[in-house]
């Protein structure tokens, strides 16, 4: 049983070490009518329908522009997901093994790490659908 736990721990650590940069979240963006230009934090990203990828470490501004229609600015905000962070921390603590009294400490450390890296957050809204308003 300890060999299985150790093998799982090795896999979890290896995956964690190979991750590059802050955690990101993909947010699909669609508009009615289609063909609007999407700016993410001031940078032109794509034309709808499309998806943008934001890091989870901060809030972001999504701007949607189409000739003949009013501009739409939408804030994408971070939302702390305590249940998921604690669950992931508990799994890590259990996989790490050792004294059951140490699991709570490992959970706390893992949750702190997830908060620091941004993994404990989700960006909302997670899907953006906008009906554009014609300019007068």
In tens, the pLDDT along 22-76 reads 899 999 999 999 999 999 999 999 999 999 999 988 999 999 999 999 999 999 9
pLDDT at site 23: 92
Contacts of 113 (CB under 8 A, 6+ apart): 119
Judge whether residue 15 has pLDDT over 70: no
In a domain, 16, yes or no: yes
In a domain, 136, yes or no: no
Overall domain count for the chain: 1
In a domain, 57, yes or no: yes
pLDDT at site 71: 98
pLDDT at site 77: 96
- List the domain range (segments joined by +) for residue 84: 2-131
In a domain, 72, yes or no: yes
87, 120 in Cβ contact below 8 A?
no
In a domain, 86, yes or no: yes
- 13 vs 36, more confident: 36
pLDDT-based confidence at residue 134 (cuts at 50, 70, 90): very high
Range 69-93 average pLDDT: 82
How much is the mean pLDDT over the chain? 82
Residue 8 φ then ψ, to 5°? -65, -40
Range 99-128 average pLDDT: 78
Task: Indicate the pTM of the whole model.
Answer: 0.68
In a domain, 58, yes or no: yes
Helix (H) and strand (E) counts for the chain? 3, 8
CA 34 to chain centre: 25
Judge whether residue 14 has pLDDT over 50: no
CA 4 to chain centre: 30
Q: Do the bridges between strand 121-124 and strand 43-47 make them parallel or antiparallel, or are there none, so unpaired?
A: unpaired
pLDDT-based confidence at residue 5 (cuts at 50, 70, 90): low
């Amino acid at each position: 049983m300890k060999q299985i736990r150790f093998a799982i721990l090795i896999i979890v650590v290896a995956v964690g070490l190979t991750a590059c940069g802050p955690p990101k979240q993909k947010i699909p963006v669609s508009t009615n009518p289609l063909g609007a230009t999407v700016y993410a934090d001031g940078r032109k990203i794509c034309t709808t329908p499309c998806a943008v990828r934001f890091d989870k470490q901060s809030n972001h501004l999504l701007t949607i522009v189409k000739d003949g229609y009013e501009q739409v600015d939408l804030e994408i905000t971070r939302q702390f997901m305590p249940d998921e962070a604690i669950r992931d921390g508990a799994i890590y603590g259990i996989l790490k093994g050792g004294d059951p009294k140490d699991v709570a400490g490992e959970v706390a450390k893992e949750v702190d790490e997830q908060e620091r890296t941004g993994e404990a957050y989700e960006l909302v809204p997670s899907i953006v659908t906008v009906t554009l308003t014609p300019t007068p």
